[in-house]
Structure 1
C-alpha cells in the first residue's frame, strides 16, 4: 500500500476517504437492484470465495452537496477500473482526490467521478462559546445521521445557568440565522453575534435535529458568558489558539472584561449533545 510506504519513509500520510458506509450484498440482492448478469459473472470470476458487491448504506451530508457524490442505495461495481468485491479493494480511496467509479443507481448503470474527502476534515478544529452554548461545525457522526444539513453552526453543549440554558437552546440544535440574517457557517455566525450589544435581546432561528424549526429569543450576557472561540493551532503550547470578542472587537487570548473561564463542572451531562469536541486546554 502507498500508505505503508509513506509511513516507512517517515512521512505522515494525508489520507482521504469516501465519506459513506458500505454494506456487502449478495448476488440475489444485486440482481434485484439492477446489476446485470454480465457483471455478476465478473464478480464470480474476481472473487470465487465471496460473491458480493458493496452498497452505500449511509452517507455524510454536507451543506454544499456535490452532484457526483455517492447516494444511499448505490451499488459499487468498480473504482478506478478495478472491480470491488473485497473491503481491501476500497483502499484505493486513500490517495486519490477523485475516483472513477462505475455504479448502479436506481437500476441504471452509470459512470461517475466520485470525490473523496480529507480525513483531517472530519475532526473538530474550531469551537465557539456564545451565551453559554458550545458551537462547532457538525462532526462526522452528525453528518452521517441527519437527512439534511441545515447549517454548519451546531450546538453540542450548553452551560448550566447560561442564557442558552435559560432560553432553551438545546444540544443538537442548528442555528440558521441571527436576527433574520442567515448564518450558514461559523464565520457568518460570529460576524452577526459580535454586533449585538450587551444586555440586549436578539433572535436565533433554529432547527432541531428532527427538522422542526423554531425561534429562540435570548438576552446577551457578556460579563458572565463572554463570546470566544478556540482555533486549533499547532504553534500554540496547548494546541489551541483563543480569540475573545468584546464590544464588537476581537482580542487574541483572554478578554479584558467579564468572566471568560467555563468551569467543567458547570456543563451538565444531560446538556451535552454527543459531539466529539476535542478537549480544549486554555492557559490562565
Structure 2
C-alpha cells in the first residue's frame, strides 16, 4: 500500500500537486499562503508563494507594489530613502527633504557625507578653508567674517604672535606693555613662575613676581632686615637713607612705636625722647 503524502495543515493529499516545505513539513499552496504569507504594505493583499517578497525593516511588498510614494516609479534594485513610513526614490527625497550645500547650492544627496555648522550644510568637498582652499574635513577650524579657516591658515593670517615664543596666540593670552604673550610664556624674569593672575611689578621693562623683586631690588628694613617692597600699600619710614617698616620703627631701648612721634638718634640707634634725654 502506498504511503500517504498529505498537507501538514489541511491533511489533503499532495500527490500530483504543488506544495511548499516549511520546517520539513509539506503544505499545500493555499494553506501555506494563509498561514505564512506576508501582507503587502501597499495593496494589503497576501504575498503569494509564486511572488517575490521584497522587505524593508520588517515590512513587505509585492514586487509590483514596491514603488516611490511620490512619483510611483519602481524602487526595485534602486536606492531609496524612508520618510515618515513612506519610501521615496532619491530624486523625490532630495527635492523634498535634502538640505542644500551652503557653498555650491546643490542638493546634498541621501547617503552623501556632509558637514554641518550653525544650521548650514556643505558637501564634504565644499567645506574648505577660505585661505588654502583645502577640505577641512574633521580637522579643527576657526570661523572669521562668515568664512571658515583651518587653524594653520587662521594663525598665519589673523592670530597675534607671542612676544616670547613667537608662536600664534589662538586662545586667551596676556597683554603687558601693549604686547601679547601666551599665559604660559608670561613668567617672572627671576624664578620663571607664571605671572598670569598674580601680582607682579617690573624693573627695566622686565616683569618680576613680588618675591623676586623684593629679594633683588628692594631696600632692607633697618629693623627686621626684610625687604620693603613699597607695593600694595605697604607703609614705611625713611630717615637718613635708611628705611623701616612702620611696625619696625620703634625705640631701640623701650620698643615704643615712633611712628608720628618725635625721636632722637644715638649713633645708629633711634630712641624716643624719654630714653634719649640723657644723651
Query: Under a length normalisation based on structure 1, what TM-score does the superposition of the two structures give?
Result: 0.19
Larger relative contact order (CA 8 Å, sep ≥ 6): 1
Query: Which one has a larger percent strand, Structure 1 or Structure 2?
Result: 1
> Which structure: larger Rg?
2
Query: Under a length normalisation based on structure 2, what TM-score does the superposition of the two structures give?
Result: 0.19
